A = this chain, B = another copy of it.
Amino acid sequence: MTHYPITQRNKVIRSPKRASYDPEVIHAILDEAMVCHVACQSEQGSLIQPTLHWRVDEVLYIHGSSKNGLFQQLLNGAEASIAVTLLDGIVFARSAFHHSVNYRSVILYGKAYEVTDEVEKRASLDALMEKFHRGRSKEARPANDTELKATSVLAFKLENISAKVRTGGPVDDPEDMELPVWAGVQPITLQLGDIVYE
């Protein structure tokens, strides 16, 4: 697959030059980011929630308490919109208007299916632990049946998905280039510190 199919739902309208439907680009963003934001409609209006996500092949997983309100909506068939965002830099232009940020983001629209098969569910939760610390799924005490039951794992196929990426320096208007105003990029990185054992 050279790129995910472009549909009415996932087509990037604004700044289409920054859009990507390339699985490699999209996988890399999903794998690097730790947190996604999931939204769906409910009777009280739109719901939104941050949660951890992880990917195995062409499936994006999230997990949470089976009593969670947003999860209940998704289990009842509400379509989710999911955003994964990495902020890479602040872009300082010579004009206020052209200030920007460098980022890599993914948006996915889709209905969840619940992972109910025990083998698949345990394997997917192991993959979550491995994402955050390689080898951890072999170290920690595995979930017992009660714990496994209390956790819902929801899966989304990587369909109706798109990425948007901005890189590089400021893009100033030609007539602003000689202004006595500095311009540049301030990089932003996520730092994982040393583990504090207890």
Contacts and interface: CB of A to CB of B under 8 A. Distances in A.
Interface string A62-96: 00010111000000001111110101001011111
Interface residues of A, number: 80
Contacts of A179: 141
A195 B186 contact: yes
A92 B186 contact: no
Interface in A112-155: 125, 129, 132-133, 136-137, 139-144, 147, 150-151
B46 A46 contact: yes
Interface stretch (A17-25, A31-39, A53-61): A31-39
B37 A143 contact: no
A13 interface: yes
A176 B96 contact: no
A83 B140 contact: no
A85 B48 CA distance: 11
A48 B129 contact: no
A67 B132 CA distance: 39
Contacts of A105: 50
A34 B194 CA distance: 24
A196 B190 contact: no
B125 A81 contact: no
Contact of A170 (B40, B49, B198): B198
Contacts of A196: 169, 184-187
Interface of A: 8-9, 13-14, 34-35, 37, 39-41, 44-50, 52, 65, 67-69, 78-83, 85, 87, 90, 92-97, 99, 101, 103, 105, 107, 109, 125, 129, 132-133, 136-137, 139-144, 147, 150-151, 169-170, 176, 179, 181-198
Given A14-B68, A182-B197, 4 more contacts: A37-B39, A37-B85, A97-B143, A141-B181
